[in-house]
Structure 1
Amino acid sequence: MAPHLAPFQPPLGPQPANAHIYSPHQVTLQMKEKVFSLSGDDFTIRTVDGLDVCTCHGKMVSARDRKKFTDMAGNDLFTLKNKMLSISKSFHGESPHGQHDFEVKGHFKLIGSHSTVTFKNAADGVQVELEVKGDWMDRSAEISYGGRPVAAIQRSYFNVREIWGDKQTYFVVVAPNVDLSLIAGLCICLDEKENEK
């Protein structure tokens, strides 16, 4: 059973609130890598009810260094860039005009994963720091803001298609009024970080 997460007011995220990437209700996202995709690392992000939210294009931009997120109309939301010179795996999310940027910084931890995400909240201009903690071996992670749950990530257990295609499915319960594209990007950051351990 999915946890019940309280809504955020004002909306929480670096992108301006709109009906395509924010929801007034708790949402469960399902992210699937496209099995045998020629471009690799491509994800379609949709709700478990089948509503498409956004798409992540992996090698379309460049090998493993960048991933472009677009809304369903094909408009660029942000490009996720791997910060190559950082000690711990870190990422930068950059919008087309640079005004909706966010940083994901990995922190060293022997077991599990710990990252912080910083951005200027689009709704009120407040500087936000999210905390991401999890254990990818246990297939789960939690995202919180000041101790308050923002999202809970679960990776599905392998099925035949995932074993043969070497692809993963993620389920993410997201609180109401949270930027769904940001949460999808964080899932991909966590996955890349854990795959390089």
Structure 2
Amino acid sequence: MSHNLRPVPQPIGIFPQFFAQAPETLVLKEHVLSLTGDSFSIKLTNGTPIVQVEGKVLSLSGRKKVCDMAGNHLFSIRKEHFHIHTTFGVEDPKDQKIMEVKSSLALFGSKATATFTSLNGKQETLQMKGNFFDTRAEITDETQGGLVVARIDRKILSGKDLFFGQQTYAVEVAPNVDMALIAALCICLDEKNNEK
């Protein structure tokens, strides 16, 4: 990764226990061959696990359950049907929608918009724009003037990952940004890419 992202002036997110204290890099590894549908382990580059993501096999909505490392259910990600553009709902354990991620067509690459209410009650709009092959993307906070809050680098790290059809992503997250929510956005982008 290039230069570190600067801290955002106002914290962005819903889960204070996951707000980055310093610039952090998350590593998302997709386990395509697991028997429970797609599941991801999300860790820091030093190997410290942050959250565990489990996919439900044979689920029409492709529901993914996200838990902290103590097994507490934080939220679920569900593909919503009957939308023109691919839309995902992020729901709390009581099935209340806490974030919506909508993808839209971009001339070059992919684009997605996430809307949610931050812990401080502020409406947030995060915009994710990637290049044509979705190997790199930036996530910007539109409510704070297009500030870059995270950067995705979808480089496949090794031939072994390529052979087993697994993707590995590095996601750089700015201080004061919710790493769990950024991970949710990345999972939505990955699900969207897997539809092709």
TM-score (norm 1): 0.90
- Is 1:66–2:63 an aligned residue pair? yes
Structure-1 residue corresponding to 2:114: 117
Contact residue 136 and residue 194 of structure 1 kept, 8 A: no
Structure-2 residue corresponding to 1:11: 11
Contact residue 80 and residue 89 of structure 2 kept, 8 A: yes
Structure-1 residue corresponding to 2:148: 149
User: AA paired with 2:13?
Assistant: G
* C-alpha spacing 1:70/1:60, structure 2 compared with 1 (3 Å): farther
Structure 1 residue 64 displacement after superposition = 5.3
- Is 1:139–2:139 an aligned residue pair? no
Distance 1:81 1:157 in 2: 26
Contact residue 78 and residue 89 of structure 2 kept, 8 A: yes
Structure-1 residue corresponding to 2:173: 174
Structure 1 residue 52 displacement after superposition = 0.8
Deviations 1:130-180 (A, max 9, x none): 111002515011000131000000112362322221110000000012111
Distance 2:22 2:132 in 1: 27
Structure-2 residue corresponding to 1:54: 51
Structure 1 residue 35 displacement after superposition = 5.5
Structure-1 residue corresponding to 2:163: 164
Contact residue 89 and residue 97 of structure 2 kept, 8 A: no
Structure-1 residue corresponding to 2:85: 88
Structure 1: runs of 5 or more not aligned: none
Secondary structure of the 1:166 match is coil
User: AA paired with 1:6?
Assistant: R
Structure 1 residue 59 displacement after superposition = 1.9
Q: How many residue pairs end up in the alignment?
A: 193
Secondary structure of the 2:56 match is strand
Structure-1 residue corresponding to 2:42: 45
Contact residue 104 and residue 116 of structure 1 kept, 8 A: yes
Consecutive aligned runs of 4 or more in structure 1 exceeding 3 Å deviation: 97-100
Identity %: 43
User: AA paired with 1:163?
Assistant: L
* C-alpha spacing 1:99/1:14, structure 2 compared with 1 (3 Å): farther
Structure-2 residue corresponding to 1:129: 125
Distance 1:196 1:12 in 2: 29
* C-alpha spacing 1:38/1:69, structure 2 compared with 1 (3 Å): same
Deviations 1:113-144 (A, max 9, x none): 1111100011x101011111002515011000
Distance 2:190 2:12 in 1: 23
User: AA paired with 2:148?
Assistant: P
Distance 1:140 1:153 in 2: 5
